[in-house]
């Protein structure tokens, strides 16, 4: 009997009240320890509970085509309303149409997720995560159009996006609470990141007004970068705490993968947000004859920006070693790559020429890759963690081959 059939039988026994929830969880955990008779790719997908068959994939694709047809219908109704003489010079009436239409679709996907999550069949039950993911995103879009419909033309776009992102975050929290799965976890992660980005946009608009950021004012540039960093690290810390919570409660491979995915997203949010705030501040378009340094404006001043990014990457490495969570190593590697590339393009290339600069960066990246792989192997091998000498730790999950069952990594 295959793994999937065993899990479906356990779910059916639980639904028929032949066994209680604790017994079912123990059986699922014991089944997870059994060596899978599938290849590496199949085991990876099974660990994520994403080993869909052809029928499931076609069902998801069909639902998305239906959603596309529904949005086309909303657009047709909006065009009819606008062409019927209801204030044809304004777009506000169509916002009502889009808000109502998207709300109906969000409710439909949410109801589908609610009922399928309570079915005993594993294939039907796991589809709830996909329906919840799409439904929560539709709640966010509904919030954007509803805010515009209520606020009218005086409501700024940034404010509408913030309202929609907060609605998405609330829906993502509810769906993740109801269904612990990779799709709902991914929805929560993206909702947190979107809400932070929207908050940064809105706060920038409130500070600088409709005129936007005066790039020739260094104090204003530093102020905007500070606001971006605040919301970046608010999102990163929030995701890190969610990852810690997931790791603490993880009782199976799925829980450990959710913890690893969230920790990876926390580190990635920190690195990407910091890079945008500290390096990508120039509004100018790249023109022929401009150098790399002409186009990119370093917010805090070169090379301080790159040193701050290097410090962040080193901090993620320390966090990975301290907690035993190898998921933090990958965004740390990205941070090293970004900082070294910027240092190379801003300093070495103008000083020593293109060839030597490429050689220096290539060797540096090879070294970073080697060290990242060594640390990842150390963590997966249960090596001692910083501050926990003499204590052994189970394998820490992270992007890569699916980890076997074992105690969850403590953050």
The answer to whether the beta carbons of residues 74 and 97 sit under 8 Å apart is yes
The answer to whether the beta carbons of residues 231 and 297 sit under 8 Å apart is no
Q: Give counts: helices (H), strands (E), the chain.
A: 15, 0
What is residue 187's three-state secondary structure? Answer: helix
Cis peptide bond upstream of 5, omega within 30? no
Helices 122-151 and 92-116: angle between axes, nearest 10 degrees: 160
What beta strand segments (E) does 13-172 contain? none
Place of tokens 């959710």: 258
Helix (H) or strand (E) holding 141: helix 122-151
**pLDDT at residue number 50:** 60
**pLDDT at residue number 213:** 64
How far lies 220's CA from each of 149, 217, 299, in Å? Answer: 33, 5, 10
**pLDDT at residue number 362:** 80
How far lies 22's CA from each of 87, 150, 181, in Å? Answer: 61, 48, 19
* Cα 257 versus chain centre, distance: 13
**pLDDT at residue number 392:** 41
**pLDDT at residue number 281:** 55
How far lies 55's CA from each of 1, 51, 52, 127, 245, in Å? Answer: 21, 12, 8, 12, 34
What is the value of pTM for the model shown?
A: 0.71
How far lies 211's CA from each of 12, 327, 375, in Å? Answer: 61, 41, 48
Helix (H) or strand (E) holding 91: none
**267, 238, 261, 397: which is closest to 331 by C-alpha?**
267
- DSSP string across 266-299: HHHHHHHHHHHHHTB---PPP-TT--HHHH-B-S
The Cα–Cα gap between 326 and 409 comes to 10
> What is the domain partition of the chain in residue ranges?
1-37, 53-212, 224-403
**148, 51, 135: which is closest to 99 by C-alpha?**
148
What is residue 410's three-state secondary structure? Answer: coil
Tens place of pLDDT for every residue, the chain, 411 residues?
A: 345 667 777 888 888 888 888 888 788 777 765 544 444 444 445 555 566 667 778 888 999 999 999 999 998 888 887 765 555 454 446 888 999 999 999 999 999 999 988 887 777 888 888 999 999 999 999 999 999 888 877 788 889 999 999 999 999 999 999 988 889 999 999 999 999 999 998 888 888 776 666 666 667 777 888 888 999 999 999 999 999 888 888 766 777 888 899 999 999 999 999 988 887 655 443 333 444 444 445 665 667 888 889 999 999 988 888 887 888 988 998 898 888 887 777 776 666 666 777 787 788 778 777 777 777 677 665 544 444 444 444 444 444 444 444 443 433
Token duo for residue 357? 């600069």
**pLDDT at residue number 393:** 42
**pLDDT at residue number 29:** 75
């Amino acid at each position: 009997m295959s793994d999937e059939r065993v899990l479906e039988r356990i779910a059916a026994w639980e639904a028929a009240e032949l066994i209680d929830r604790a017994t079912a969880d123990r059986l699922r955990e014991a089944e997870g320890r059994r060596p899978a008779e599938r290849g590496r790719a199949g085991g990876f997908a099974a660990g994520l509970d994403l080993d869909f068959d052809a029928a499931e994939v076609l069902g998801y694709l069909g639902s998305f085509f239906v959603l596309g047809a529904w949005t086309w219908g909303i657009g047709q109704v909006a065009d009819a309303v606008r062409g019927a003489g209801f204030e044809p010079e304004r777009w506000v009436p169509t916002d009502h149409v889009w808000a109502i239409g998207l709300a109906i679709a969000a409710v439909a996907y949410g109801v589908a997720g609610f009922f399928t999550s309570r079915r005993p069949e594993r294939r039907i039950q796991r589809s709830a995560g996909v329906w919840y993911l799409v439904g929560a995103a539709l709640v966010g879009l509904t919030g954007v159009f509803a805010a515009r419909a209520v606020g009218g033309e005086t409501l700024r776009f940034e404010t509408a996006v913030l309202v929609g992102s907060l609605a998405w975050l609330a829906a993502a929290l509810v769906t993740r609470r109801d269904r612990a799965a990779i799709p709902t976890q991914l929805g929560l992660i993206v909702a947190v990141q979107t809400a932070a980005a929207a908050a940064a946009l809105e706060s920038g608009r409130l500070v600088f007004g409709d005129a936007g950021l005066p790039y020739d004012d260094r104090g204003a540039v530093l102020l905007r970068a500070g606001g971006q960093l605040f919301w970046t690290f608010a999102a990163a810390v929030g995701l890190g705490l969610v990852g810690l919570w997931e790791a603490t409660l993880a009782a199976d491979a799925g829980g450990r993968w959710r913890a690893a995915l969230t920790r990876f997203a926390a580190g990635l949010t920190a690195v990407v947000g910091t890079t945008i705030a500290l390096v990508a501040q120039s509004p100018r378009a790249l023109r022929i004859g401009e150098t790399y340094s002409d186009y990119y404006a370093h917010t805090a001043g070169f090379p301080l920006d790159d040193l701050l990014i290097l410090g962040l990457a080193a901090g993620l490495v320390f966090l990975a070693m301290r907690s035993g969570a190898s998921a933090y190593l990958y965004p740390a590697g990205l941070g090293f790559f970004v900082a070294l590339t910027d240092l190379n393009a801003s300093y070495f290339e103008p000083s020593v020429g293109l060839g030597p600069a490429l050689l220096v960066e290539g060797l540096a990246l090879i070294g970073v890759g080697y060290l990242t792989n060594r640390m990842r192997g150390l963590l997966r091998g249960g090596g001692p963690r910083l501050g926990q000498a003499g204590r052994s730790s189970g394998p820490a999950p992270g992007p890569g081959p699916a980890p076997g069952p074992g105690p969850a990594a403590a953050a």
